[in-house]
């Protein structure tokens, strides 16, 4: 699929899925694209990747999560270039969380829950999400094997960089909170994959995420 230029309409939604017009769905069906559907969003300054929620947007427009528009420096009504891309599965992600994220009672569980609503990760993205009526930001520091990858049905090792303001314990006996979560291994993010038929307007939903297992090195 070649790049298509669409006008951005912001929407408040958890995750990275966009809403595209029906004409894009018709084109993708003709092309017999690979599932799960992932897309590249490009501006003059940056690019990122995302999934799709529905094909019900007005023709010529694209509904985009507010946090993605902020990352791409887009304003309401700005044009964005979009195309369908087949991304490799992520095997490794390194996040840089905010310090307040570590103050959660179980940040690992919150991350597992949050990633259910995302289809892709791209180096440089700052993922915004809400939890208990508070907004958190998780910057993507590193992704392997490519700068942008799909995280659906992927076995991923997750690591963390120290957030700004984090104080490293001077010795093992010193207890300083909040503490940085240990690296997480072997998470699998799944999404129901169902074929789109010409009358369909929705595609897929993340169904489950396995608990992280294993033990990593502490910072």
pLDDT in tens, 86-130: 999 999 999 999 999 988 989 988 998 899 999 999 999 999 999
Task: Determine the pLDDT at residue 2.
Answer: 85
Edge-to-edge strand ranges of the sheet holding 126-131:
126-131, 134-144, 92-97, 154-160, 184-191, 206-209
Q: What percent of the chain is predicted at pLDDT more than 90?
A: 60
Q: What is the mean pLDDT of the chain?
A: 82
Which fold, 92-192? Vcp-like ATPase; Chain A, domain 2 (3.10.330)
DSSP string, 26-84: HHHHHHT--SS-EEEEE-SS-EEEEEEEES-SPTTEEEEEHHHHHHTT--TT-EEEEEE
Residues 136-176 have pLDDT tens digits of 999 999 999 999 999 998 999 999 998 888 777 666 555 54
- How much is the pLDDT for 211? 32
- pLDDT value at residue 210: 35
Q: Cite the residue boundaries of each domain of the chain with CATH code 2.40.40.50.
A: 4-85
pTM for this structure? 0.78
The answer to whether residue 60 scores a pLDDT higher than 70 is yes
pLDDT value of residue 52: 96
Cα R_g (the chain), whole angstroms: 18
- Across 38-63, average pLDDT: 95
The pLDDT of residue 199 is 36
Intervals of CATH 3.10.330.10 along the chain: 92-192
Task: Give the per-residue pLDDT at 201.
Answer: 30
CATH tag, 4-85: 2.40.40.50
Q: In this structure, are residues 71 and 125 in contact, taking their beta carbons and an 8 Å threshold?
A: yes
Q: Where are the beta strands (DSSP E) in 86-122?
A: 92-97, 120-122
pLDDT over 80 at 212, yes or no: no
pLDDT band for position 184 (cuts 50, 70, 90): low
What is the average pLDDT across 48-68?
96
């Amino acid at each position: 699929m070649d790049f298509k230029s669409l006008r951005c309409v912001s929407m408040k939604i958890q995750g990275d899925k966009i809403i595209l017009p029906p004409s894009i769905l018709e084109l993708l069906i003709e092309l017999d694209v690979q599932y799960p559907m992932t897309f590249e969003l490009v501006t003059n300054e940056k690019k990122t990747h995302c999934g799709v929620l529905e094909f019900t947007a007005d023709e010529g427009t694209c509904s985009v999560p507010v946090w993605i528009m902020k990352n791409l420096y887009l304003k309401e009504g700005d044009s964005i270039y979009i195309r369908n891309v087949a991304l490799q599965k992520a095997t490794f992600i390194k996040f840089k969380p905010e310090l307040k994220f570590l103050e959660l009672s179980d940040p690992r569980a919150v991350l597992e829950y949050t990633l259910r609503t995302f289809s892709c990760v791209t180096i440089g993205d700052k993922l915004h999400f809400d939890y208990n009526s508070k907004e958190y930001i998780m910057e993507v520091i590193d992704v392997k094997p490519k700068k942008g990858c799909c995280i659906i049905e992927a076995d991923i090792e997750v690591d963390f960089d120290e957030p700004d303001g984090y104080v490293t314990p001077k010795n093992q006996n010193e207890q300083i909170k909040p503490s940085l979560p240990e690296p997480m291994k072997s998470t699998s993010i799944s999404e129901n994959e169902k074929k789109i038929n010409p009358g369909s307007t929705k595609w897929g939903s993340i169904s489950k995420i396995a608990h992280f297992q294993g033990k990593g090195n502490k910072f």
